[in-house]
Amino acid sequence: MGGGSYSVDAAVTRSTHYASMDTHQIFNQRNINNAMDPNGLTVRESRDSKEHPSSLAIILALDVTGSMGSVPHHLVKKGLPDIMDSIIKSGIKHPQVLFVGIGDHEVDSAPLQIGQFESSDELLDKWLTDIYLEGGGGANAGESYLLAWYFAAYHTSIDCFEKRNQKGILFTIGDEPPLRNVPKSVLQKLMGDGQYENMSASVLLDKARKTYHVYHINIAETASGARTIVHDTWKQLLGDNLLVAQSRNDVPGIIAEVTKKHVKPVVTVGKPPKKEDIIL
């Protein structure tokens, strides 16, 4: 996947169309989309091509429980064009973005939803609006952000790392701490036939970090996100890779700024890099 190009103008026009629509008019509200169901999934690929010779894999894993359904709503109405425009202007010419929907594997019917790595505005819009906003979650210890790490570690294949030793970038976004463990029975139910084991958040984070720079954006404007225990739990796990958004409106700018840090210049010996030579 990953063909096509991103047109900011087309994306802005589409976002303007969404401006007067509420969440229920834009997003899938019925059940998980079959194309995003992880059951039977083997791998999602981010590949270089003639059109995109230096792809960068970016995963945006959105908490879609309870109040966090407003984050994908903001992204589709305004945030995604801002993110992509800033990333491209930063010198990353070929970003390939994949959307993940995150729920709660202890109580929800669809705790993990997986899109495809895409580059075009039309397809990114499609995958984002195909996310099932289950709106669940429970009065437990957190949400299933660790499933995004599991997916990235075991079910993605990305050329930026495999060809250029350039890690992809993974953001989880929400207002709860991560659940600490996922039982093998849950993984088998989610993913289908295979060999599984009980896995901890810390182990899955370490595995994801082998191929991705892993960040979490905590939405501090909600009652949950403002809790000290939420901040401290993430800080213990991620250190400086915990990012705090005082408002969900800040998410696009945070993503764009972090992504800019991972631009790699290609330098010819004896010559300074030209602007057009800044690639991944």
Say if residue 42's pLDDT is above 90. yes
> In the chain, what is the greatest distance between 2 CA atoms, to the nearest angstrom?
60
Going along the chain from its start, the domains and CATH numbers come out as 8-279 (3.40.50.410)
CB distance 96 to 119 below 8 Å = yes
pLDDT of the residue at 236: 96
pLDDT of the residue at 105: 95
From the list 81, 98, 96, 126, the residue with the least C-alpha distance to 5 is 96
Task: Dump the DSSP string for 54-78.
Answer: T-EEEEEEEE-SGGGGHHHHHIIII
Task: Specify the residue for token string 């370490």.
Answer: 206
Instruction: Tell me which of 15-29, 106-120, 142-156, 182-196 is least confident.
Output: 15-29
Q: What is the mean pLDDT of residues 122-137?
A: 86
The distance of Cα 235 from the centroid of its chain, to the nearest Å, equals 19
Say if residue 268's pLDDT is above 50. no
pLDDT of the residue at 15: 79
Q: What is the mean pLDDT of residues 146-157?
A: 98
Say if residue 266's pLDDT is above 50. no
What pTM does this model have?
Answer: 0.90
Instruction: Tell me which of 23-32, 202-211, 230-239 is least confident.
Output: 23-32
Say if residue 87's pLDDT is above 70. yes
Model confidence band, residue 267 (pLDDT cutoffs 50, 70, 90): very low
CB distance 211 to 167 below 8 Å = yes
| Rounded CA separation 35/53 (Å) | 27
DSSP 3-state assignment of 50? coil
pLDDT of the residue at 101: 93
pLDDT of the residue at 98: 94
Say if residue 258's pLDDT is above 50. yes
Say if residue 172's pLDDT is above 90. yes
Task: Dump the DSSP string for 140-194.
Answer: SS-B-THHHHHHHHHSEEEHHHHHH---EEEEEEESSPBPSEE-HHHHHHHH-SS
pLDDT of the residue at 193: 86
pLDDT of the residue at 269: 44
